[in-house]
Amino acid sequence: MENEGRVTQQNGNGGSTLSDQVYSAIRQDMLDGKMLPGAKVSLRSLATTYGTSMQPVREAVARLVADDALEVTPARTIQVPLLERAQCDEVWSLRALLEGEAAALFTLRATEPDFDRLQELTRASHHAQFHGTPAEHMRSIHNWAFFVSEHCGSPLLASLIRTMRLRGAPMMARALHAPMVQDPAFLEFTNQIMQEIVLALRTRDGARVRDLRRVDILSYQRYLYSRLGWTLDKTPQTGASSPS
């Protein structure tokens, strides 16, 4: 992780503490797919990476453990959790429900500038999926989802969505790093769904937006699972390995 100097030593960043900044930096790296399932880190290595002392790192890690984004093993090692298949399925099911509802709520509140911004994010996502690195791909998708959830009018729903995406990000990164050729047909399909969501938003069709968002998420789940050698009936294909 190349993040030297990312956090500052001042407690003047919008009222955030140094611990808050370290927490946000680690969380962003996880969302960008820079920490794969099973990756082990130490407080010292994190302090070096983010250019700070041990105490704010210790506090940030404690928060991430509480978020279930990191875990402490019996040997006192800090690592990115290795989610079981059933846990992955649950994360995706919850995301489909939560993000579908957030999109429907967004429909009721969005302004014309919001629609324009979402269209920009859709174009950026399309470009990143075809031409970007896995980290750029992931960030573009998260940016789209977080814009909708953070403007849906429910801070609690937005927080739950961020938590679910944080938990699922390492598995997503493992799938995108799998040695497989991209599927241009699927990427065009998912981009088309995102375009249809924007069109449905403009007509204030909340029910259609909710349904399209769920289809988008569950289709992407199928795509990532295929890159891991998984099928949605929970039976791994021959020779498949878990996202560990």
User: What mean pLDDT do residues 160-184 have?
Assistant: 91
Residue ending a domain, among 79, 114, 130, is 79
Residue 233 pLDDT greater than 80, yes or no: no
Which CATH number covers residue 41? 1.10.10.10
Give me the pLDDT at residue 6, please. Answer: 62
pLDDT digits (tens, 9 = 90+) for 142-171: 999 999 999 999 999 999 999 999 999 999
Q: In this structure, are 184 and 111 located in the same domain?
A: yes
Which CA distances in Å does 113 have to 110, 116, 121, 122, 140?
A: 8, 5, 12, 14, 19
| Residue 121's CATH number | 1.20.120.530
User: Predicted confidence band at 8 (pLDDT cuts at 50, 70, 90)?
Assistant: low
Asked if pLDDT for residue 237 goes beyond 60, the answer is no
Q: What is the mean pLDDT of the chain?
A: 88
Residue 234 lies in a domain: no
Q: Is residue 241 part of a domain?
A: no
- For residue 98, the model assigns a pLDDT of 98
- State how far the alpha carbon of 69 is from the alpha carbons of 81, 85, 157, 176, 241, in Å: 7, 16, 18, 19, 22
Nearest CA to 201 out of 141, 121, 129, 116 is that of 116
Burial class from Cβ neighbours inside 10 Å (0-12, 13-18, 19+) for residue 58 reads: middle
What 3-state class would DSSP assign to 142?
helix
Contacts of 79 by beta carbon, 8 Å cutoff, 6+ apart: 38, 39, 40, 41, 70, 71, 73
Kindly list the strands in the beta sheet with 71-72, ordered across the sheet, starting from the edge strand earlier in the chain: 40-41, 78-79, 71-72
pLDDT at residue 241, as a whole number:
37
Say yes or no: 110 and 27 in one domain. no
Q: Give the model's pLDDT for residue 231.
A: 83
Q: In total, how many domains does the chain have?
A: 2
Q: Are 61 and 51 in contact (CB under 8 A)?
A: no
Among the candidates 79, 113, 148, a domain finishes at 79
pTM to 2 decimal places: 0.85
Predicted confidence (pLDDT) at residue 1 exceeds the cutoff of 60: no
The helix or strand, by DSSP H or E, that contains position 71, with its residue range, turns out to be: strand 71-72
Q: Are residues 165 and 57 in the same domain?
A: no
Residue 235 within any structural domain of the chain: no
* Range of the structural domain that residue 51 is part of: 18-79
Can you give the pLDDT at residue 112?
93
Residue after which a domain boundary falls, among 58, 79, 100? 79
Give pLDDT tens digits for 186-223.
Answer: 888 988 999 999 999 999 999 999 999 999 999 999 99
Looking at the structure, do residues 154 and 60 belong to the same domain, yes or no?
no
Contact (CB, 8 A) for 138 and 173: yes
Identify whether 6 is part of a domain.
Answer: no
Same domain for 124 and 173? yes
137 shares its domain with 195: yes
Amino acid at the residue 177: H
Question: Do both 27 and 123 map to the same domain?
Answer: no
| Closest by CA position to 164, among listed 145, 177, 147, 148 | 145
Residue 156 and residue 101 share a domain = yes
Residue 115 to residues 101, 194, 210, Cα–Cα distance (Å):
17, 12, 16
Share of the chain above pLDDT 90, in %: 75
Asked if residue 133 and residue 61 are part of one domain, the reply reads no
**In degrees, to the nearest 5, what angle opens at C-alpha 208 toward C-alphas 206 and 210?**
70
- 110 and 163 share a domain? yes
Please answer whether residues 30 and 166 qualify as being in contact, where contact means their C-beta atoms are separated by less than 8 angstroms: yes
* Residue 125 included in any domain: yes
DSSP-derived pairing of the beta strands 71-72 and 40-41: unpaired
Q: What is the pLDDT of residue 14?
A: 53
Q: What angle do CA 36, 42, 46 make, to 5 degrees?
A: 80
Average pLDDT value for residue range 42-49: 92
Determine the pLDDT at residue 76: 82
pLDDT value of residue 135: 93
DSSP letter at 16 equals B
User: pLDDT tens, 54-99?
Assistant: 999 999 999 999 999 999 988 888 999 999 999 999 999 999 999 9
What percent of the chain has a predicted confidence (pLDDT) above 70? 89
Same domain, 209 and 92: yes
38 lies in the same domain as 95: no
